Structure 1
Amino acid sequence: MQSTQNQVTDPVTPAVTLPCTAVDLERFACTDTVAATLLSAADYLERHGWIQASYYDNTAAVYTPPACLVGAIGIVCYGGPVDAPAQMFDDPGFPDFEAAMVFLDFCVVHATEGELTSAYDYNDAKGRTADEVICLLRMVAFVWDYAFGGAQ
Protein backbone atom coordinates (compact mmCIF):
# COMPACT_ATOMS: atom_id res chain seq x y z
CA MET A 1 0.00 0.00 0.00
CA GLN A 2 1.24 3.45 -0.88
CA SER A 3 1.70 5.96 1.93
CA THR A 4 -0.96 8.15 0.33
CA GLN A 5 -3.59 5.42 0.41
CA ASN A 6 -6.06 5.07 3.24
CA GLN A 7 -6.38 1.65 4.73
CA VAL A 8 -9.90 0.31 4.35
CA THR A 9 -11.50 -1.03 7.49
CA ASP A 10 -14.53 -3.23 7.58
CA PRO A 11 -17.44 -0.92 8.54
CA VAL A 12 -19.68 -3.89 9.35
CA THR A 13 -17.46 -5.62 11.89
CA PRO A 14 -17.85 -3.98 15.30
CA ALA A 15 -14.72 -3.22 17.30
CA VAL A 16 -15.36 -5.03 20.56
CA THR A 17 -12.90 -5.35 23.40
CA LEU A 18 -13.87 -8.46 25.29
CA PRO A 19 -13.94 -8.54 29.10
CA CYS A 20 -11.77 -11.61 29.19
CA THR A 21 -10.10 -14.14 26.97
CA ALA A 22 -11.38 -17.59 26.09
CA VAL A 23 -8.80 -18.96 28.55
CA ASP A 24 -10.28 -16.83 31.33
CA LEU A 25 -13.73 -18.15 30.49
CA GLU A 26 -12.64 -21.77 30.92
CA ARG A 27 -13.46 -21.44 34.62
CA PHE A 28 -17.10 -21.51 33.60
CA ALA A 29 -18.35 -25.01 32.89
CA CYS A 30 -20.68 -24.11 30.02
CA THR A 31 -19.48 -20.93 28.35
CA ASP A 32 -20.82 -22.13 25.01
CA THR A 33 -24.32 -21.57 26.36
CA VAL A 34 -24.01 -17.83 27.06
CA ALA A 35 -25.77 -16.73 23.87
CA ALA A 36 -28.42 -19.43 24.21
CA THR A 37 -29.05 -18.36 27.82
CA LEU A 38 -29.46 -14.70 26.85
CA LEU A 39 -31.74 -15.52 23.91
CA SER A 40 -33.89 -17.75 26.13
CA ALA A 41 -34.15 -14.97 28.71
CA ALA A 42 -35.30 -12.57 25.97
CA ASP A 43 -37.91 -15.10 24.86
CA TYR A 44 -39.08 -15.53 28.46
CA LEU A 45 -39.58 -11.78 28.89
CA GLU A 46 -41.51 -11.56 25.61
CA ARG A 47 -43.85 -14.38 26.67
CA HIS A 48 -44.32 -13.66 30.36
CA GLY A 49 -43.61 -9.97 30.85
CA TRP A 50 -40.95 -7.69 32.26
CA ILE A 51 -40.73 -5.74 35.52
CA GLN A 52 -38.36 -3.44 37.39
CA ALA A 53 -37.11 -3.28 40.99
CA SER A 54 -37.68 -6.96 41.80
CA TYR A 55 -36.59 -10.28 40.33
CA TYR A 56 -40.19 -11.43 39.85
CA ASP A 57 -43.72 -10.09 40.13
CA ASN A 58 -44.55 -11.57 43.52
CA THR A 59 -48.24 -10.77 43.07
CA ALA A 60 -48.50 -13.14 40.10
CA ALA A 61 -50.05 -16.47 41.03
CA VAL A 62 -48.24 -18.41 38.29
CA TYR A 63 -45.00 -20.38 38.08
CA THR A 64 -43.87 -18.17 35.18
CA PRO A 65 -44.27 -14.65 36.56
CA PRO A 66 -43.14 -11.47 34.86
CA ALA A 67 -39.44 -11.00 35.66
CA CYS A 68 -36.65 -8.49 35.48
CA LEU A 69 -33.67 -9.06 33.21
CA VAL A 70 -31.68 -10.90 35.92
CA GLY A 71 -34.74 -12.83 37.09
CA ALA A 72 -35.34 -14.07 33.54
CA ILE A 73 -31.75 -15.29 33.27
CA GLY A 74 -32.22 -17.01 36.63
CA ILE A 75 -35.37 -18.76 35.44
CA VAL A 76 -33.56 -19.97 32.32
CA CYS A 77 -30.59 -21.28 34.31
CA TYR A 78 -32.39 -22.72 37.34
CA GLY A 79 -35.65 -23.87 35.79
CA GLY A 80 -37.87 -21.52 37.76
CA PRO A 81 -37.93 -18.50 40.05
CA VAL A 82 -35.39 -18.43 42.90
CA ASP A 83 -35.02 -15.91 45.71
CA ALA A 84 -31.49 -14.75 44.84
CA PRO A 85 -30.26 -15.85 41.40
CA ALA A 86 -26.71 -14.59 41.97
CA GLN A 87 -26.40 -16.56 45.22
CA MET A 88 -27.20 -20.07 43.94
CA PHE A 89 -23.55 -21.18 44.07
CA ASP A 90 -24.27 -24.90 44.57
CA ASP A 91 -26.93 -25.17 41.87
CA PRO A 92 -25.85 -26.91 38.65
CA GLY A 93 -27.18 -23.92 36.68
CA PHE A 94 -24.94 -21.40 38.45
CA PRO A 95 -22.01 -21.59 35.97
CA ASP A 96 -24.38 -20.74 33.11
CA PHE A 97 -25.92 -17.90 35.13
CA GLU A 98 -22.55 -16.48 36.14
CA ALA A 99 -21.06 -16.69 32.64
CA ALA A 100 -24.07 -14.92 31.12
CA MET A 101 -24.05 -12.21 33.79
CA VAL A 102 -20.31 -11.52 33.54
CA PHE A 103 -20.52 -10.99 29.80
CA LEU A 104 -23.80 -9.07 30.01
CA ASP A 105 -22.43 -6.74 32.70
CA PHE A 106 -19.35 -6.05 30.58
CA CYS A 107 -21.52 -5.22 27.58
CA VAL A 108 -23.73 -2.90 29.65
CA VAL A 109 -20.68 -0.98 30.88
CA HIS A 110 -19.28 -0.81 27.34
CA ALA A 111 -22.58 0.20 25.70
CA THR A 112 -23.30 2.93 28.25
CA GLU A 113 -19.68 4.13 28.38
CA GLY A 114 -19.56 3.41 32.10
CA GLU A 115 -22.76 5.27 32.96
CA LEU A 116 -24.32 2.00 34.10
CA THR A 117 -22.25 -0.72 35.76
CA SER A 118 -24.44 -3.81 35.66
CA ALA A 119 -27.44 -5.56 34.18
CA TYR A 120 -29.29 -4.68 37.39
CA ASP A 121 -28.67 -0.96 36.73
CA TYR A 122 -29.71 -1.31 33.10
CA ASN A 123 -32.98 -3.08 33.98
CA ASP A 124 -33.95 -0.61 36.69
CA ALA A 125 -32.97 2.63 34.92
CA LYS A 126 -35.76 5.20 34.94
CA GLY A 127 -37.65 5.20 31.65
CA ARG A 128 -36.32 1.78 30.60
CA THR A 129 -38.73 -0.31 28.50
CA ALA A 130 -39.26 -4.02 28.03
CA ASP A 131 -38.32 -3.66 24.37
CA GLU A 132 -34.97 -2.13 25.31
CA VAL A 133 -34.20 -4.93 27.76
CA ILE A 134 -35.17 -7.63 25.27
CA CYS A 135 -33.13 -5.92 22.55
CA LEU A 136 -30.10 -5.75 24.87
CA LEU A 137 -30.31 -9.48 25.58
CA ARG A 138 -30.49 -10.30 21.87
CA MET A 139 -27.71 -7.87 20.98
CA VAL A 140 -25.35 -9.24 23.65
CA ALA A 141 -26.09 -12.79 22.47
CA PHE A 142 -25.09 -11.66 18.97
CA VAL A 143 -21.86 -10.14 20.29
CA TRP A 144 -21.07 -13.39 22.13
CA ASP A 145 -21.67 -15.40 18.96
CA TYR A 146 -19.53 -13.01 16.95
CA ALA A 147 -16.67 -13.19 19.45
CA PHE A 148 -16.77 -16.84 20.50
CA GLY A 149 -18.87 -18.58 17.87
CA GLY A 150 -22.39 -19.90 17.64
CA ALA A 151 -25.31 -20.05 20.03
CA GLN A 152 -26.63 -23.54 20.36
Structure 2
Amino acid sequence: MRGIGLTIFSGVLIGLPVAAVLAQECLVCDPEIVMTRELADCFLTQFDTTLNEMHSQNLPFALVNLGLCDGVDGGTRGSVKKSTLDASRLVFSLSEIKGATLATSTEPSKTFILDEAAIRCLDATIRSDEARFDPAGAFRPAEMCP
Protein backbone atom coordinates (compact mmCIF):
# COMPACT_ATOMS: atom_id res chain seq x y z
CA MET A 1 0.00 0.00 0.00
CA ARG A 2 2.87 2.37 0.81
CA GLY A 3 4.34 1.81 -2.67
CA ILE A 4 1.06 2.89 -4.29
CA GLY A 5 1.02 6.15 -2.33
CA LEU A 6 4.63 6.85 -3.29
CA THR A 7 3.83 6.14 -6.95
CA ILE A 8 0.85 8.50 -6.87
CA PHE A 9 2.94 11.20 -5.13
CA SER A 10 5.70 10.81 -7.72
CA GLY A 11 3.15 11.07 -10.50
CA VAL A 12 1.78 14.28 -9.03
CA LEU A 13 5.27 15.77 -8.77
CA ILE A 14 6.03 14.87 -12.38
CA GLY A 15 2.82 16.59 -13.46
CA LEU A 16 3.65 19.86 -11.65
CA PRO A 17 5.56 22.59 -13.43
CA VAL A 18 9.22 22.60 -12.35
CA ALA A 19 9.00 26.25 -11.20
CA ALA A 20 6.19 25.38 -8.79
CA VAL A 21 8.21 22.55 -7.23
CA LEU A 22 11.38 24.68 -6.98
CA ALA A 23 9.51 27.65 -5.52
CA GLN A 24 8.39 25.48 -2.60
CA GLU A 25 11.99 24.69 -1.63
CA CYS A 26 12.43 28.10 0.00
CA LEU A 27 9.49 28.44 2.33
CA VAL A 28 10.70 31.76 3.77
CA CYS A 29 11.35 33.42 0.40
CA ASP A 30 9.08 36.17 -0.87
CA PRO A 31 6.86 34.90 -3.72
CA GLU A 32 6.69 38.40 -5.22
CA ILE A 33 8.55 41.66 -4.87
CA VAL A 34 7.87 45.08 -6.36
CA MET A 35 10.88 47.08 -7.50
CA THR A 36 11.45 50.59 -8.77
CA ARG A 37 14.30 51.66 -11.01
CA GLU A 38 16.17 53.01 -7.96
CA LEU A 39 15.72 49.73 -6.06
CA ALA A 40 16.85 47.76 -9.11
CA ASP A 41 20.01 49.88 -9.41
CA CYS A 42 20.68 49.39 -5.70
CA PHE A 43 20.15 45.64 -6.03
CA LEU A 44 22.71 45.48 -8.84
CA THR A 45 25.32 47.22 -6.67
CA GLN A 46 24.68 44.75 -3.81
CA PHE A 47 24.45 41.61 -5.96
CA ASP A 48 28.03 40.32 -5.50
CA THR A 49 28.12 41.19 -1.80
CA THR A 50 24.82 39.41 -1.21
CA LEU A 51 26.01 36.21 -2.89
CA ASN A 52 29.40 36.35 -1.14
CA GLU A 53 27.68 36.67 2.26
CA MET A 54 25.36 33.76 1.46
CA HIS A 55 28.29 31.55 0.48
CA SER A 56 30.54 32.55 3.39
CA GLN A 57 27.75 31.86 5.90
CA ASN A 58 26.54 28.77 4.02
CA LEU A 59 22.97 30.12 3.83
CA PRO A 60 20.33 28.86 1.36
CA PHE A 61 18.70 32.31 1.12
CA ALA A 62 19.43 35.97 1.88
CA LEU A 63 17.62 38.91 3.39
CA VAL A 64 18.16 41.70 0.87
CA ASN A 65 17.86 45.20 2.36
CA LEU A 66 17.71 47.98 -0.23
CA GLY A 67 16.20 50.62 2.05
CA LEU A 68 19.50 52.23 2.98
CA CYS A 69 20.80 52.75 -0.55
CA ASP A 70 21.40 56.23 -1.91
CA GLY A 71 18.50 57.37 -4.07
CA VAL A 72 15.95 55.11 -2.38
CA ASP A 73 13.09 57.12 -0.89
CA GLY A 74 11.66 56.42 2.52
CA GLY A 75 14.32 54.27 4.17
CA THR A 76 13.15 51.05 5.77
CA ARG A 77 10.43 50.38 8.29
CA GLY A 78 11.65 50.89 11.81
CA SER A 79 14.47 53.20 10.75
CA VAL A 80 15.50 56.25 12.75
CA LYS A 81 13.54 58.52 10.40
CA LYS A 82 10.25 57.00 11.53
CA SER A 83 8.46 60.35 11.77
CA THR A 84 9.00 61.04 8.06
CA LEU A 85 8.71 57.46 6.88
CA ASP A 86 4.98 57.28 6.22
CA ALA A 87 4.92 60.63 4.44
CA SER A 88 7.72 59.61 2.07
CA ARG A 89 6.60 56.02 1.35
CA LEU A 90 6.03 55.39 -2.34
CA VAL A 91 2.70 53.89 -3.33
CA PHE A 92 1.80 52.96 -6.91
CA SER A 93 -1.47 52.02 -8.52
CA LEU A 94 -1.58 48.50 -9.92
CA SER A 95 -1.71 49.94 -13.44
CA GLU A 96 1.69 51.58 -12.87
CA ILE A 97 3.39 48.32 -11.83
CA LYS A 98 4.48 46.24 -14.82
CA GLY A 99 3.43 42.60 -14.44
CA ALA A 100 1.14 43.31 -11.47
CA THR A 101 -1.68 40.99 -10.46
CA LEU A 102 -4.61 41.77 -8.17
CA ALA A 103 -2.53 40.41 -5.26
CA THR A 104 0.52 42.59 -5.98
CA SER A 105 1.55 45.06 -3.28
CA THR A 106 1.39 48.67 -4.34
CA GLU A 107 4.46 49.52 -2.23
CA PRO A 108 8.01 48.78 -3.41
CA SER A 109 9.79 45.96 -1.59
CA LYS A 110 12.79 47.47 0.16
CA THR A 111 13.53 44.28 2.09
CA PHE A 112 12.87 40.76 0.88
CA ILE A 113 14.14 37.20 1.12
CA LEU A 114 15.24 35.22 -1.95
CA ASP A 115 17.30 32.10 -2.53
CA GLU A 116 20.40 32.13 -4.73
CA ALA A 117 18.59 31.05 -7.88
CA ALA A 118 16.02 33.84 -7.51
CA ILE A 119 18.74 36.41 -6.72
CA ARG A 120 20.60 35.44 -9.88
CA CYS A 121 17.37 35.50 -11.87
CA LEU A 122 16.44 38.95 -10.57
CA ASP A 123 19.92 40.20 -11.51
CA ALA A 124 19.52 38.80 -15.04
CA THR A 125 16.00 40.21 -15.34
CA ILE A 126 17.13 43.70 -14.37
CA ARG A 127 20.13 43.60 -16.71
CA SER A 128 18.13 42.27 -19.67
CA ASP A 129 15.28 44.79 -19.47
CA GLU A 130 16.10 48.08 -17.75
CA ALA A 131 12.64 49.51 -18.47
CA ARG A 132 10.93 46.60 -16.66
CA PHE A 133 11.12 48.42 -13.31
CA ASP A 134 10.36 51.96 -14.49
CA PRO A 135 8.40 53.30 -12.68
CA ALA A 136 7.85 49.92 -10.96
CA GLY A 137 7.59 46.25 -11.80
CA ALA A 138 6.58 43.01 -10.13
CA PHE A 139 9.02 40.10 -9.93
CA ARG A 140 7.73 36.60 -9.16
CA PRO A 141 10.59 34.04 -9.12
CA ALA A 142 8.34 30.99 -9.43
CA GLU A 143 6.90 32.32 -12.69
CA MET A 144 9.82 34.28 -14.13
CA CYS A 145 12.85 32.11 -13.38
CA PRO A 146 13.79 28.94 -15.25
- TM-score, normalised via structure 1 length: 0.32
- TM (normalized to structure 2)? 0.33
Larger RCO: Structure 1 or Structure 2 (Cα < 8 Å, ≥ 6 residues apart)?
2
Higher strand share: 2
